[in-house]
Amino acid sequence: MFPQIRWRIAISYLILVTVVMAGLASYLSRPGCLGDAGCVRQGVSVTAVILLIMAAAIAFPVAARTTRPVRHLTSVIRRITEGEWEARVLPQTRDEMGELILAFNDMIDALRQQHLALLEENGQFDTVLNYMADGVLITDTAGRVRLINPAASKLFSLSEKSALQRTFAEAVRHHQLIDLWQACQQSGEEVTAAVEMGRVFLQVIITPFKEGWAEGYLVILQDLTTMRHLQTVRRDFISNVSHELRTPLASLRVIIETLQENAYDDPETAVHFLDRAAGEIDVLTQMVQELLELSRIESGQVPLRLKATAVADLLLVPMDRLKHQAERANLHLILDLPAALPLVLADPTRIHQVVSNLLHNAIKFTPDGGKITLKANVETEKNEVVVTIQDSGIGIAKEELERIFERFYKSDRARTRSLGGTGLGLAISRHVVQAHNGRIWVKSKEHKGSSFYFTLPISS
């Protein structure tokens, strides 16, 4: 009838007082009692005792009823604190305690939603940090590392845990980076700079921040090594093309000027100069053709006609083509194939071109009396055949090995100039092999010889 505790207690006590007072009144109204001080004292004393006992009798169950849900609520709060977000108290009454429990449940629901939203946001933040290619590092104002992502950890060869126990200077161990951080700290403004760390080329941005209670410096490290390498390759490519074109063009100009200065009066000299002019034009034509070929292969305009082919067929045709050249250079040409080789999936014309390029180089770069061996072996695990073209020639310097597959790259310009060649052969070969889903690489020791390898998938 009275759902609220305060009303229940008040009404109970009102009834109690009324009943006891009525009892006292009827006791005192007995004849002769009011005039007798002893009777009045006794009546009041008994009434007080009854009031006390009845009050206690009412108070205990009320207190018990009120504290039971409080105890339950306390235990549920503990469970929630330990992460058991589903724990709830079910309201048993519709009084203030029931309302408190309902409000508590609503509050936990709201908190849980916020908690989940925060978790999701944190998860997204972690994913971005973990997978981003740029290194991210946050320090506090004193320079202690507060956050480091895997890319930055990798850059400084440092685990996240040990980075978090260090200062920025201890973590990065690079004077330029430390100077930048200090410059940012002193100026309070964003600092950007390009920094070289060994073979890695970094763009570094350090920004001071103040977000609520958090204050510090955000360090972003962008690895621009590949981009810089591409820029170098492009710059080299342009200068190489210009250089390669300028040389035959300058030769042609000299030849024409000589002819103009009456050399054509002497037919023998004129024929000689015209032959040289034709030679230079051949060089130019070959270069333009190879450049066109390369750009067509690179843009995927050369469709491969793949078919199951015997490895011997891929090697014998170029060997046959170049055997006279090898004989003239007094070189020993050897084909060393295992008895049973599986068929490979290849476009024979294209692979003939690759083998010809590699063989032609081996002949060019191997001095008289040297040896060139063509081999093949199966890599069963990788389901491929590895073709090797090995020479006992002049070899390639270690620092140049990485670059020889670039367009126009020649390891020694003066030396290769006299041997001819455009510097495009290996670039074309690499593209052709990659179009076959294969790999091409080289191992070489100066003055000992070189081995070029490429793989082709086994035809299933």
Q: Which residue carries 């009892």 as its tokens? A: 23
* CB 412 to ligand ADP: min, Å: 6
* CB 234 to ligand ADP: min, Å: 17
**Where does this chain bind ligand ADP (CB under 6 A)?**
357, 361-362, 365, 391, 393-394, 396, 404, 409-412, 416, 421-427, 450
CB closer to ligand ADP, 223 vs 280 = 280
* CB 193 to ligand ADP: min, Å: 36
CB closer to ligand ADP, 384 vs 391 = 391
Least Cα distance to 323 among 374, 263, 378 occurs for: 374
Which burial class, exposed, middle or buried, applies to 253 when counting CB atoms under 10 A from its CB (0-12, 13-18, 19+)?
exposed
Residues 6 or more apart whose Cβ sits within 8 Å of residue 447: 394, 395
Which amino acid is located at 113 in the chain? Q
* CB 419 to ligand ADP: min, Å: 8
Phi, psi of 366 (to 5 degrees): -115, 120
CB closer to ligand ADP, 149 vs 422 = 422
Can you state the angle between helices 348-364 and 425-435, rounded to 10 degrees?
150
| DSSP, residue by residue, 56-95 | HHHHHHHHHHHHHHHHHHHHHHHHHHTT-TT-------SS
The first and second tokens of residue 394, run together, are 């002049």
CB closer to ligand ADP, 143 vs 423 = 423
* CB 453 to ligand ADP: min, Å: 12
Least Cα distance to 28 among 42, 49, 48 occurs for: 42
CB closer to ligand ADP, 153 vs 366 = 366
CB closer to ligand ADP, 135 vs 421 = 421
The first and second tokens of residue 44, run together, are 């009041």
C-alpha 304/C-alpha 90 separation (Å) is 73
C-alpha 460/C-alpha 457 separation (Å) is 9
* CB 317 to ligand ADP: min, Å: 19
User: CA-based angle 247:251:254, to the nearest 5?
Assistant: 140
CB closer to ligand ADP, 97 vs 427 = 427
The first and second tokens of residue 453, run together, are 């390898």
* CB 422 to ligand ADP: min, Å: 5
* CB 360 to ligand ADP: min, Å: 7
Does an H or E element contain 372, and which?
A: strand 371-379
* CB 420 to ligand ADP: min, Å: 7
C-alpha 434/C-alpha 294 separation (Å) is 13
Cα separations in angstroms, 339 against 229, 312, 336, 375, 378: 44, 11, 10, 12, 11
Q: How many CA atoms lie within 13 A of 61 on its CB side?
A: 7
* CB 328 to ligand ADP: min, Å: 17
CB closer to ligand ADP, 336 vs 412 = 412
| SS3 category, 218 | strand
Cα separations in angstroms, 105 against 97, 260, 367: 12, 103, 89
CB closer to ligand ADP, 71 vs 447 = 447
CB closer to ligand ADP, 421 vs 438 = 421
Cα separations in angstroms, 148 against 3, 154, 208, 318: 58, 10, 16, 55
CB closer to ligand ADP, 47 vs 450 = 450
CB closer to ligand ADP, 138 vs 315 = 315
* CB 225 to ligand ADP: min, Å: 23
* CB 415 to ligand ADP: min, Å: 7
| DSSP, residue by residue, 274-340 | HHHHHHHHHHHHHHHHHHHHHHHHHTT-S----EEE-HHHHHHHHHHHHHHHHHHTT-EEEEE--S-
